């Protein structure tokens, strides 16, 4: 079946709508970052950069690091953007851009997020690194897909019971990382369950001028216990990445630079240095 013009959108040069990329312009190993400026902070370590393109918040550099072809792309903030990035990255490998048909044999990508995050456990130090073993979605994006089969339903139930939030407008869902890809990022990384919120302020329990609906939500997350596993940190993309990645058949892991600790109230004195260290660590483990 040929995909309709309104569903799979190509720009005049044939590239995919938002990312403005053609299939040969991406590698099979993809690093995602939230901040468009962080793309150059990764690619400055490449041996060569063969392709650069930007549209909106989606900035992409493809090159090689120690001989391995890697694409680094910014997603902007939030799982709504992850919906665009993951569907269009998948299209780049699994849709024929000439016939506009889905390819008979599917290909999978290795996708590694290098992002910042706030810890909610007091014993996770500022400037440490954490691998998200599970993404817990407090956003709604994945619910628009037929996705219950890839969710951890027992964990979903525990979240609903223990967080006891007025969940009439948020249905938390849990999806695991790709364990094999995650096993590369072992030494020097904390591991845990990462909540992805649909906002940075109220949804992460930050009060500036507006009161939140449940002031106890972060404390309940800190106390949450599921088979002796804890919620460790919060950010804004991981749940959507794990969900879409599992549905589309890609391998994804989310690496977090802990720049804030919500339990202790601290923030990193040099977040750029911490992110740079995570970038260098991740690049070396990707090629190891
Ligand atoms: C919020 O400041 C942003 O930082 C985190 C969150 O997920 C959100 O995107 O990740 P990045 O540093 O990758 O953007
Ligand atoms: N990113 C987030 O989403 N939250 C934090 O607290 C820090 C970084």
Question: What's the 46 CA to ligand 1 centre distance in angstroms?
Answer: 23
Q: What residues does 136 pair with on adjacent strands? A: 174, 195
Question: What's the 85 CA to ligand 1 centre distance in angstroms?
Answer: 15
Q: Where are the chain's structural domains?
A: 23-287
Ligand nearest to the CA of residue 77, numbered in listed order:
1
How do the pLDDT tens digits run along the chain, 288 residues long?
Answer: 899 999 999 999 999 999 999 999 999 999 999 999 999 999 999 999 999 999 999 999 999 999 999 999 999 999 999 999 999 999 999 999 999 999 999 999 999 999 999 999 999 999 999 999 999 999 999 999 999 999 999 999 999 999 987 767 789 999 999 999 999 999 999 999 999 999 999 999 999 999 999 999 999 999 999 999 999 999 999 999 999 999 999 999 999 999 999 999 999 999 999 999 999 999 999 999
Q: How many CB atoms lie within 10 A of CB 209?
A: 5
Question: What's the 107 CA to ligand 2 centre distance in angstroms?
Answer: 32
Please spell the DSSP secondary structure of the chain, one letter per residue: -PPPTTTS-B-TTS-BTTT---GGG--SEEEEESSTTHHHHHHTTSSEEEEEEEETTEEEEEEEETTEEEEEEE--SSHHHHHHHHHHHHHHHHEETTTTEE-SS----EEEEEEEEEE-STTS-TT-EEEEEEEEE-SSGGGGSS-GGGS-HHHHHHHHHHH---TTS---EEEE--HHHHTTS-TTEEEEEEEE-S-SSGGGT--SSS--S-TTHHHHHHH-EETTEEEEEEESSHHHHHHHHHHHT-EEEEEEEEEEETTTTEE-S-HHHHHHHHHHHHHHHHH-
Nearest residue (CA) to ligand 1, atom 9 = 77
Ligand nearest to the CA of residue 37, numbered in listed order:
1
Quickly name the fold that domain 23-287 has: Rossmann fold (3.40.50)
Residue 2 CA to its chain's centroid (Å):
30
ipTM over the 0.90 cut-off: yes
Beta carbon of 178 within 6 Å of any ligand 1 atom = no
Alpha-carbon distance of 68 to 284, in angstroms, equals 11
């Amino acid at each position: 079946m040929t995909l309709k013009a309104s569903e799979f959108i190509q720009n005049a040069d044939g590239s995919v709508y938002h990312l403005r990329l053609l299939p040969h312009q991406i590698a099979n190993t993809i690093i995602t970052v939230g901040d468009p400026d962080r793309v150059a902070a990764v690619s400055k370590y490449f041996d060569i950069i063969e392709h650069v393109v930007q549209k909106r918040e989606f900035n992409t550099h493809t090159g090689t690091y120690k001989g391995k072809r890697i694409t680094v792309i910014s997603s902007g903030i939030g799982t709504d953007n992850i919906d665009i990035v993951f569907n269009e990255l998948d299209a780049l490998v699994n849709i024929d851009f000439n016939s506009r048909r889905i390819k008979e044999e599917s290909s999978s990508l290795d996708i590694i997020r290098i992002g910042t995050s706030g810890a909610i456990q007091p014993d996770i130090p500022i400037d440490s690194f954490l691998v998200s073993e599970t993404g817990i979605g407090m956003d709604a994006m994945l619910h628009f897909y037929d996705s219950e089969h890839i969710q951890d339903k027992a964990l979903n139930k525990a979240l609903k019971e223990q967080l006891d939030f007025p969940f009439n407008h948020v249905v938390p869902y849990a999806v695991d990382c790709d364990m094999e890809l995650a096993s590369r990022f072992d030494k020097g990384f904390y591991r845990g369950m990462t909540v992805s919120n649909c906002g940075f302020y109220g949804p992460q329990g930050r009060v500036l001028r507006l009161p939140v609906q449940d002031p106890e939500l972060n404390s309940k997350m800190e106390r949450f216990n599921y088979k002796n596993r804890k919620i460790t940190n919060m950010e804004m993309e991981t749940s959507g990445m794990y969900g879409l990645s599992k549905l589309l058949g890609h391998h994804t892991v989310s690496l977090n630079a802990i720049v804030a600790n919500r339990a202790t109230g601290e923030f990193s004195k040099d977040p750029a240095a911490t992110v740079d260290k995570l970038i260098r660590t991740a690049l070396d483990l990707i090629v190891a």
